[in-house]
């Protein structure tokens, strides 16, 4: 790797010598690899999703619930492609319904190499869990290697995405990324066990004071994607504790029932199907403990 242009930040860092805007150098670093039970039911099932959390992030939202691993001093350890392949196989051996790769946009070429190594050996679906802030040309490296895409569509307004993620181009980038993801995996297919085998779930986290933007996001999803072929997951788990030191006071509270329910009503009106959350999920218990040794 010389200069890196793997994600929309296009910061051009020489990651052999320094970290990029994503906060990490060229070697993959993971914080946690374990069975995880708090994804959508078609992903977590009864035995859990075999989840690998990568350190660093190319988006860097001010309210990030994984901030312990996405910025600053990061826990965990460095791994190479062979080790990632072995971790995936061991998670399957532990009973994982699928392998769930979380926020790996800044390591996508190495992830693709590891997935090539397990091709034909891994018998559970591979899930690629993404902020949505990705480049189609980078995602093409995963074509034929990923079965399920789990991208966010976080913001529509450039003002809001600039304010909270320093990414005024977020919605145009996410829409291009989602189109590429859908072109690779196509419509959702459930197995006989009721779990997702292939397809795409688009996630949206409702933020406090951003109801109109959430509605705009859902409208865009219904315009740019075949809504009968995807699932949409509307999340209420926004946790203000993770934004307590940020300057935006509107983020210092939970989402109200009115805000969340009115966004769900719009999803209904648009004919989007998928998942919603109980408001009790707006708590730190749904955030993995990255300080435990679970690798």
Tokens of 161: 């995405």
User: For 191-212, b where at least 16 C-beta lie within 10 A, e where not — what string?
Assistant: eeeebbbbbbbbbbbbbbebbe
With respect to ligand SF4, which residue has the nearer C-beta, 13 or 201?
Answer: 13
Distance of CA 151 to the CA centre of its chain: 5
Three-class DSSP labels, 137-195 = HHHHHHCCCCCEEEEECCCCCHHHHHHHHCCCCHHHHHHHHHHHHHHHHCCCEECCCCC
Tracing tokens 């010598």 back to the chain, one arrives at 17
Q: Which residues contact ligand SF4 by CB under 6 A?
A: 4-7, 9-11, 13, 15, 20-22, 58, 106
Residue 99 CA to residue 115 CA, distance in Å, equals 10
With respect to ligand SF4, which residue has the nearer C-beta, 21 or 177?
Answer: 21
Residue 242 CA to residue 66 CA, distance in Å, equals 9
Shortest separation between residue 2's beta carbon and ligand SF4, angstroms: 11
With respect to ligand SF4, which residue has the nearer C-beta, 36 or 106?
Answer: 106
Shortest separation between residue 108's beta carbon and ligand SF4, angstroms: 8
Shortest separation between residue 13's beta carbon and ligand SF4, angstroms: 4
Shortest separation between residue 56's beta carbon and ligand SF4, angstroms: 7
Query: Angle formed by the axes of helices 211-224 and 257-270, to 10°?
Result: 20
With respect to ligand SF4, which residue has the nearer C-beta, 107 or 242?
Answer: 107
Shortest separation between residue 208's beta carbon and ligand SF4, angstroms: 27
Residue nearest to ligand SF4 (CB): 20
With respect to ligand SF4, which residue has the nearer C-beta, 23 or 125?
Answer: 23
With respect to ligand SF4, which residue has the nearer C-beta, 167 or 251?
Answer: 167
The most distant pair of C-alpha atoms in the chain lies apart, rounded to whole Å, by 51
Shortest separation between residue 54's beta carbon and ligand SF4, angstroms: 11
């Amino acid at each position: 790797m010389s200069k890196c242009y793997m994600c929309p930040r296009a910061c051009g860092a020489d990651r052999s010598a320094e970290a990029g805007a994503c906060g990490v150098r060229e070697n993959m670093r993971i914080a946690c690899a374990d069975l995880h039970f708090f994804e959508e039911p078609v992903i977590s099932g009864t035995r859990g999703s075999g989840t690998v959390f990568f350190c660093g992030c190319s988006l860097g939202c001010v309210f990030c619930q994984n901030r312990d691993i996405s910025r600053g001093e990061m826990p965990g350890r460095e791994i190479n492609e062979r080790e990632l392949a072995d971790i995936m196989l061991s998670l399957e051996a532990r009973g994982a319904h699928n392998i769930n790769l979380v926020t790996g946009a800044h390591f996508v070429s190495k992830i693709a190499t590891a997935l090539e190594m397990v091709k034909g050996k891994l018998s559970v679906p591979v899930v690629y869990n993404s902020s949505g802030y990705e480049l189609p040309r980078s995602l093409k490296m995963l074509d034929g290697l990923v079965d399920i895409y789990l991208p966010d569509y976080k913001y529509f307004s450039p003002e809001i995405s600039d304010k909270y993620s320093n990414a005024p181009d977020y919605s145009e980038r996410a829409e291009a990324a989602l189109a590429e993801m859908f072109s690779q995996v196509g419509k959702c297919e459930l197995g006989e066990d009721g779990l997702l085998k292939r397809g795409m779930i688009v996630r949206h986290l409702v933020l406090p004071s951003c109801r109109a933007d959430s509605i705009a996001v859902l409208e865009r999803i219904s315009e740019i994607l075949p809504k009968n072929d995807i699932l949409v997951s509307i999340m209420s788990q926004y946790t203000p504790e993770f934004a307590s030191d940020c300057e935006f006071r509107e983020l210092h509270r939970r989402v109200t029932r009115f805000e969340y329910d009115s966004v769900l009503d719009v999803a209904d009106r648009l004919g989007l199907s998928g998942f919603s959350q109980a408001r009790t999920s707006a708590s730190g218990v749904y955030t993995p403990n990255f300080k435990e040794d679970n690798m």
